[in-house]
A and B are shown apart, each in its own frame.
Chain A
Amino acid sequence: MEENIGTALVVGAGISGIRSALDLAESGHRVILVDRAPHIGGILSQLDYQFPNDRCGMCKMLPMINRDSSSQYCLRKGLFHENIELLLSTEPVSVQGEAGHYRVALRKKSSLVSEDLCIGCGECIKVCPVEVPDIFNAGFTARKAIYLPVPHRIPNTFVVDTDSCTMCGACEPVCPTGAIRLSEREHRQFRILVVDDELIVRDSLKELLEDEGYSVDMAESGAVALERLSGQKYNLMLLDIKMPGMDGVTVLRKAKEEFPDLTVLMMTAYATVETAVEAMKIGAIDYLLKPFETDLLIPKIMGIYNEFEAARARFVDVEAIVLCCGTGFFNPADGKDTCGYHTLPNVITGIEFERIVSGTGPCGGQLVRPSDGKRIEKIAWFQCVGSRDLQNNADFCSNICCMYAIKEALLAKSSTNGEAETVIFYMDMRTFGKSFQRYRDKAQDEYGVRFENARIHSVVPEDGTGNLLVRYVDTCGKIHEECFGMIVLATGQRPVKGTAELAGITGISLNPWGFAETAPFSLTETARPGIVIGGSFSGQKDISESVIQASAAAACASGAILASGKSPMPESLQETVSPELLREPSRILAVVCTCGKSILAYTDKNMLSEKFKTDPEVKNVIFSERICTAGGWDELVGHVRKYKPNRLLIGACLPYMYGRKLKELEKETGLAASLTEIVDIRTPELRFSGENTGENQAAVVIEHLLGMGLVKLKHAKPSTAPSLPVTRNCLVVGGGIAGMRAALAIADSGYRVDLIERSECLGGNLRWITETIEGFSTQTLLNDTIQRIEKNPKIEVHKNTNVLASFGEAGLFMTTVENSEKEVQTIEHGAIILATGGKETEITAYGHGTSEAIVTQKEFEQRITARSLDPSTLSSVVMIQCAGTREEPKNYCSRICCTVSIKQALFLKKQNPEIAVYVIYRDMMTYGFTETFYTQARKAGVIFIRYTKDRKPEVMVSGPVPKVKCFEPTLGEDVEITADLVILAAGVIPELPAGLASAFGASCDTDGFFLEAESKWRPVDSIKEGVFACGLALSPRTIAESVATAEAAAQHAIRIISRNRLPFGKVTAIVRHSLCSLCRQCIEACPYGARILDTENEQILVNSVMCQGCGICASVCPNKASVIEGFSTRQILEVIDAAICI
């Protein structure tokens, strides 16, 4: 079976890459996750505060089900999952093959530091003479050529920046573990043998080639050359033809006989070309005529070297490739308009600001100017720097800058107790995401962030103060001059470095601005099947959109893997603990690692050993070296076999690295993984290193830690790792495009789906839409999708059916449905996807309903489709944006209406260029690449008039045609427009009845949309495990975005229904019913909603799949009735005792 397991390659280990990799791994595929950086986390590793709660939260992506398969700590530090192989500093260099079978060559850039040996002591940076700006801190601080890529990484091994390293070698001798190997530099490993009888030729060649970084040896004659060849492996021989004694051709012939793989380049001055050609027949690769130019020689050798490099690449066979390569940023210093960036020190970019307020940044989290350390009293953000700028070939919006500018302004406010004055200069505030509009309003009204609708061109320094003067015109036309202490530029997106090369390798296409292009109606699929895009690689996205798209990419990749005939990994066997084990007295084996410069090397091992052995349960104490290496581990396994302990204590470094090894150990020797304790003895050693009393103190601390581990192990209970059976099918409620695509994604993975649709036909909103703004036909999409649904034997469609009731939990839900004939049916399913959709808001504002000439966007679309409206008869059309939303009580942006208006305006202008089209708007939300259509509309002569919500346009319907009166802010006066047609952008409301949501244990937000478990990191999940949502029920979105949420939700459901049994985490809460007084405090306290009151049996029940073992219930329980397995009171108290007394 082993060889039939599918593998996916995920390129890029930012948050999208991690999300995709985890999704694939959790559904049983093997994943190779590569990143060219020496750390994971991508750009998020530099950002400490995320919207909306100014926290990180990356760890929320970790598996919730079967969570013991992965490391369970900060994802910014590292990721360890059983099914994921993480390769850092690695890039794909070639992709061969086709859908279902790709062979990818991966090249790893050597960091010149052995990860196995480096203990992160930092001795090397003390001696390194090279200082370069630290990219991690956006250049505000300096680092050495050997450095830690991010301060919080685990394992904290150093890497050498080969671009800036001078290879002086100072660090090599100071490394206590000999981890630094500068000779591993790629070029150094390429060994060249120069064979020439003339000393001057040999010497000059050696010097030249060594300057290029190669390792060079010399031989003065053929005989010496052959001798050298037999003693050492060479990659290239430069061979002179005319030599006394043995001539070149003979040497070549002999060398080729013995080393047929050796590459030989002939050199000749006197010999004829015929001889050289003869040499090539024997096997020389080429010849050079002496005297040769270095310009000729170096490229030739480079060519041979590249082949050598390529051959060293690791080849992997994968069924699917997910590209999550992220995005780059515009550098204002390169633009036509620099805003003083790089010339004025206090003009910075958004990412630099994030570093300034970061605790690990140059100012330790204080909001001061790095240039002079002054406190910042007034700070401005300039939006759209390098976006929406035709002069810089950027006819697109960068999606996220508006929101991060607001977040940064609020950060500035909070770090100065609200004293800093903050101003955001914007063109349109694009708050198009869920909850974004309320966040903006809060920033403005509650925190006093000033929003100024203006674009500023130039920044002038104020004399001597470092402050910055700007000049701008406000909406009324008044010109202002203002002085700021700091200016933050919201720099736009650019394709990440290497995008074009990667596109060349993988054969995907790029859009006109160089970003990866996806297929119509998909945010993930490319022109090549099996190669999909995740995250910001196809245009910058915020966290929630990135993870949605990454999950969708995982769904597509998973589909491609299964389509190629591969299958997921079989579920690991149930851990069963024999009853004898519980009765057996403990036999503890303690193995302590003494590797490297371990403190334990200096302490008295015998004394430590004796101390442990005073405990009768400790049978053996062994000191070992390098447990982390393969050899060290084998030794440990040998000890386990020899002493046959039933509990194992290991003192070593990096405890989280041992998860997989312990499981293997359990398989090999039967020693339960749950009865193993690993104590981190490395961290105290590092902490106390360098202090005078350091070694003694560290030794004491390590002794305590080992003692604590021992007590913990003694009281550990063998876990039974229970699990729940799973009903392996899924229920999808809603037959719109999101519901249909979710159903298809699940059915294509081989699981059954029941698709519930309350009306008589599938399609939802797609039925009244004909075309997207890009010109893709939605009817073709609809018909194709319905056909695929009908043909799929795994999907059962229930039309005219409503959900009556449901109960159950992840793994098994029982849902009762009723059709139009009042027939009731109960469906059992393992997961549920709510795709109930949304609809256009019904409005009465702006005279809607009083005149035939006042319509909503949907009504307009329907009239055009029905041909009941002829554009050639119209002379003036007014569109009013935000007619139904973006103010209380529906204070959210409907995201799609601006694009729809632009689409309709362009349609009208195309049909009849004489129509005057007026769009009355608040902020044009043409985010991302739809911005280009906004430009097109402007060019086509559509007139745009901005309004604010306190001065709305009025529609008057007294005469034969309506008149629209509005305030024109640029002119500062009211205008009146006679309109043949008024189109209202009514906005989107969800159609998710609160009763339906709560039937499945989900809930709705204040606007009636599905309430996610976490708006950023778990955007399609409900707090209740096994319940997911997609499409308009989640939030307003376009067709392609709805499809992405559908695929993401499907992928999350597959994580559950692809298993026969759902394994729980080892650490979960249990209730001692005899002690429980049913006070229900624990139910309220549980952040995962894992507890319910069983009224029938009068018991509190814990859903072990949903319980994450956080322990809050145990701390609120007044009776100690709530207990966390593996953390019994007695055990913890004894651990504390062990920590404080000796």
Chain B
Amino acid sequence: MENLTQNETLHDERSCDPLVTVQKMVNSCLQCGTCTGSCPNAFAMDKTPRQLWHLVHLGYTDEIFISRTFTLCSTCYTCTLRCPRGLPLTEAMSALKQIAAKENPKFYRRSILFYKNFIESVRRHGRVREAEFMTLYFAELKNPLVPFQFAHLGIKLMLKKKISVRFPSRGNHQLESVFRKVEEMEPKS
């Protein structure tokens, strides 16, 4: 059982609560479930998108940030397209990702590293190089068991030539200036 009284502190500190921005995004949600019915990744999520939005309504910060639902959002924008209320659901997912990374980096370490290394590969080559990206990711995870979990999938993808096996390289830094500019523009935190 949840006790809302615990969350009353949350109401009092609304102004500095990062969840408020997300609440504003999804306030007029009717709980119709179109997003969940449409989401290609919903099967793998611990909370359905509909549940997640309702948790945001209710301000259940704790429950939201032990969920991995938003980390599984692949930004396909299907829900945003289909929402009858026209809500920016994909943006709301991204916002939750950012809050999670900031507020609970330890819990979301794997997701954070996944995104970080994904974008690192893009930064180097202008696209993701799967083998390099996974190597970087595994290296940073510092857990020798993890690569084995992915071995089966990796071999399958390799046999189907979905992954080009190339050694990591520094790349040609053509996108470097773009990334730097973005870093400058992003608010320091």
- On A, residues with C-beta under 8 Å from B are 336-337, 384, 388-391, 427, 454-458, 471-474, 477, 479, 875-876, 914, 916, 935, 938-941, 943-944, 946, 968, 970-978
**Residue pair A978, B8 in contact (C-beta under 8 Å):** yes
Q: Which 7 A-B pairs have the closest CB atoms?
A: A455-B32, A473-B36, A938-B28, A473-B33, A477-B48, A970-B54, A389-B84
B4: chain A residues at CB < 8 Å are 876, 975-978
Q: Which of B1, B11, B27, B55 has the most CB of A within 10 A?
A: B27
Q: What 9 additional pairs, Cβ within 8 angstroms, besides A876-B4, A938-B30? A: A337-B84, A389-B84, A391-B84, A458-B38, A472-B37, A477-B47, A940-B27, A943-B57, A975-B1
Asked whether A968 lies within 8 Å of B54 as measured between CB atoms, the reply is: yes
Beta-carbon contact of A914 and B55 below 8 Å: no
CB of B3 within 8 Å of the partner chain = yes
Across-interface contacts of B3 in A (CB, < 8 A): 976
**A935 cross-chain contacts in B, Cβ below 8 A:** 28, 85
Check B32–A427 contact: CB distance below 8 A.
yes
Jot down 22 A-B pairs with beta carbons below 8 A, ordered by A.
Answer: A384-B84, A389-B85, A390-B84, A391-B83, A391-B85, A427-B32, A455-B33, A456-B34, A471-B37, A472-B33, A473-B37, A473-B48, A477-B48, A477-B51, A479-B42, A914-B14, A970-B51, A972-B51, A973-B2, A975-B1, A975-B58, A977-B4
- With both beta carbons as reference points, the residue of chain B lying nearest to A455 in the complex is identified as B32
Does B27 contact A938, Cβ atoms closer than 8 Å? yes
Q: Which residues of A contact B27 (CB under 8 A)?
A: 938-941
Bits for B79-104, please: 1 = Cβ < 8 Å to A, else 0.
Answer: 00111111000000000000000000
- In the complex, how many angstroms separate the beta carbon of B94 from the nearest chain A beta carbon? 20
Interface residues of B in 35-75 (CB under 8 A from A): 36-38, 42-43, 47-48, 50-51, 54-55, 57-58, 63
B3 to A, closest residue via Cβ: A976
Closest B residue, CB atoms, query A389: B84
- Check B84–A938 contact: CB distance below 8 A: no
B23 to chain A: closest CB distance in Å? 7
Instruction: Closest A residue to B7 by CB, please name it.
Output: A916
Q: Which residues in chain B, 1-31, are within 8 Å of chain A measured between CB atoms?
A: 1-5, 8, 11, 14, 23, 27-31
Query: Which of B28, B29, B82, B86 is packed against the most chain A CB atoms within 10 Å?
Result: B28
B4 to chain A minimum Cβ distance, whole angstroms, is: 5
Q: How far is the CA of A389 from the CA of B58 in the complex (A)?
A: 23
Chain A residues within an 8 Å CB radius of B84:
337, 384, 388-391, 455
Contacts of B43 in A (CB 8 A): 479
Known A391-B84, A875-B11, A938-B30; judge A477-B1 contact (CB<8 A).
no
User: Closest Cβ of chain B: how far from A868's Cβ, in Å?
Assistant: 25
* A471–B1 alpha-carbon span in the complex (Å): 31
User: Contacts of A471 on B, CB cut-off 8 Å?
Assistant: 37-38
Residue from B8, B36, B82 in contact with A479 in the complex, judged by beta carbons closer than 8 Å? B36
Per-residue CB contact flags for chain B residues 89-131 toward chain A (1 = under 8 Å, else 0) read 0000000000000000000000000000000000000000000
- Residue of A384, A477, A875 most packed against chain B (CB within 10 A): A477
Q: B1 near A973 (CB under 8 angstroms)?
A: yes
Contact between A390 and B32, CB atoms less than 8 A apart:
no
The total of Cβ contacts below 8 Å across the A-B interface reads: 106
Give the residues in chain B near A474, CB-CB below 8 Å. 33
Is A914 touching B31 in the complex (CB atoms < 8 A)? no
CA distance A455 to B82 in the complex (A): 11
Closest-CB distance, A966 to chain B (whole angstroms):
11
Tell me whether A916 and B11 are in contact (CB under 8 A): yes
Q: Is the CB of A454 within 8 A of B11?
A: no
Residue numbers in A under 8 Å from B28 (CB-CB)? 390, 935, 938-939
Contact A457 B36 (CB under 8 A): no
- Alpha-carbon separation in the docked complex, A944 to B54 (Å): 9
What is the CA–CA distance of A904 and B42 in the complex, to the nearest angstrom? 37
Q: How far is the CB of B140 from chain A (nearest CB, A)?
A: 34
* Complex contacts, B32 vs chain A, CB 8 Å: 427, 454-455
Complex Cα gap A943–B59 (Å): 10
Partner of A477, one of B11, B23, B36, B86: B36
A390 to B31, CA, bound (A): 14
**How near does chain B come to A74, taking the closest CB pair, in angstroms?**
41
Which B-chain residue is minimally distant from A386 (CB atoms)?
A: B84
The chain A residue sitting closest to B58, CB to CB, is A943
B34 & A976 in contact (Cβ 8 Å cutoff) = no
Q: Does A875 lie within 8 Å of B8, measured CB to CB?
A: yes
- Cβ-defined contact, A876 with B50, below 8 A: no
Q: What does the 1/0 interface line of B126-143 toward A look like (CB < 8 Å)? A: 000000000000000000
Most A CB contacts (10 A, CB to CB) among B1, B31, B33 go to: B33
Residue from A472, A876, A938, A968 in contact with B29 in the complex, judged by beta carbons closer than 8 Å: A938
Instruction: Tell me, in angstroms, the Cα distance from A76 to B37 when the chains sit together.
Output: 44
For B48, list chain A residues within 8 Å (CB): 473, 477, 479
Residue of B nearest to A944 (CB): B31
| Structural contact, A974 and B14, CB atoms closer than 8 A | no
Q: How far is the CA of A477 from the CA of B33 in the complex (A)?
A: 8
Inter-chain CA distance A946–B54, complex, in Å, is: 11
Q: Min CB distance, A217 to chain B, in Å?
A: 60
- Minimal beta-carbon separation of B92 from chain A (angstroms): 15
Q: How far is the CB of A491 from chain B (nearest CB, A)?
A: 14
Q: Contacts of B11 on A, CB cut-off 8 Å?
A: 875, 914, 916
A2 to chain B, nearest CB (A): 58
Set of chain B residues within 8 Å of A457, measured between Cβ atoms: 34, 37-38, 82
Given A454-B37, A473-B42, A938-B28, A974–B1 Cβ distance below 8 Å? yes
CB distance from B153 to the nearest CB of A (A): 23
Nearest-CB residue, chain A, relative to B87: A390
Nearest chain B residue, comparing its CB with the CB of A964? B4
Query: How long is the Cα–Cα vector from A457 to B83 in the complex, in angstroms?
Result: 9
CA distance A944 to B26 in the complex (A): 13
Residues in chain A near residue B81, CB distance under 8 A: 336
| Residues on the B chain within 8 Å of A944, using CB | 31
Q: What separation, in Å, do the CA atoms of A941 and B38 have in the docked complex?
A: 25
Contact A976–B42 (Cβ < 8 Å): no
Report the minimal beta-carbon distance from A531 to chain B, rounded to whole angstroms.
35
Q: Which residue of A lies closest to B38 (CB)?
A: A457
Chain B positions within 8 Å of A974 at CB level: 1-2
Cα A603 to Cα B33 in complex, Å, equals: 73
A974 to B58, CA, bound (A): 13
| Complex CA–CA separation, A472 to B48 (angstroms) | 12
User: How far is it, in angstroms, between the C-alpha of A665 and the C-alpha of B26 when the chains are bound?
Assistant: 74
Expressed in whole angstroms, the Cα–Cα distance for A938 and B85 within the complex equals 11
Residues of B within 8 A of A336 (CB): 81
List the B side residues contacting A977 at CB < 8 Å.
Answer: 4
Q: Do A390 and B85 have beta carbons less than 8 Å apart? A: yes
Q: Which residues of A contact B47 (CB under 8 A)?
A: 477
Give, as a whole number of angstroms, the nearest-CB distance from B170 to chain A.
Answer: 44
Contacts of B34 in A (CB 8 A): 455-457
For B81, the closest partner residue in chain A by CB is A336
CA distance A458 to B38 in the complex (A): 8
In the bound assembly, the distance between CA atoms of A681 and B50 in angstroms comes to: 68
CB nearest neighbor in B for A975: B2
Q: How far is the CA of A975 from the CA of B7 in the complex (A)?
A: 12
A978-B8 Cα distance, complex, nearest whole Å: 9
Contacts of A970 in B (CB 8 A): 31, 50-51, 54
Alpha-carbon distance between A29 and B36 when the two chains are bound, in angstroms: 59
Q: How far is the CB of B53 from chain A (nearest CB, A)?
A: 9
Chain A residues with CB below 8 A from B38, complex form: 457-458, 471
Docked CA distance A916–B58 (Å): 9
Interface residues of B in 163-177 (CB under 8 A from A): none
Q: Within 8 Å CB of A458, what residues of B?
A: 38, 82
In-complex Cβ contact of A388 among B5, B23, B30, B82 (8 A) = B30
In the bound complex, residues from chain B placing their C-beta under 8 Å from that of A473 are 33, 36-37, 42, 48, 50
B50 pairs with A479, CB closer than 8 A:
no
Question: Nearest CB to that of A940 among chain B residues?
Answer: B27
Min C-beta distance of A805 to chain B, whole Å? 53
B86, A391: Cβ atoms closer than 8 Å = yes
Among B30, B81, B82, the most chain A Cβ lie within 10 Å of the Cβ of B30
- Interface centre among A457, A935, A943, by most B CB within 10 Å? A457
Q: Are A477 and B50 in contact (CB under 8 A)?
A: yes
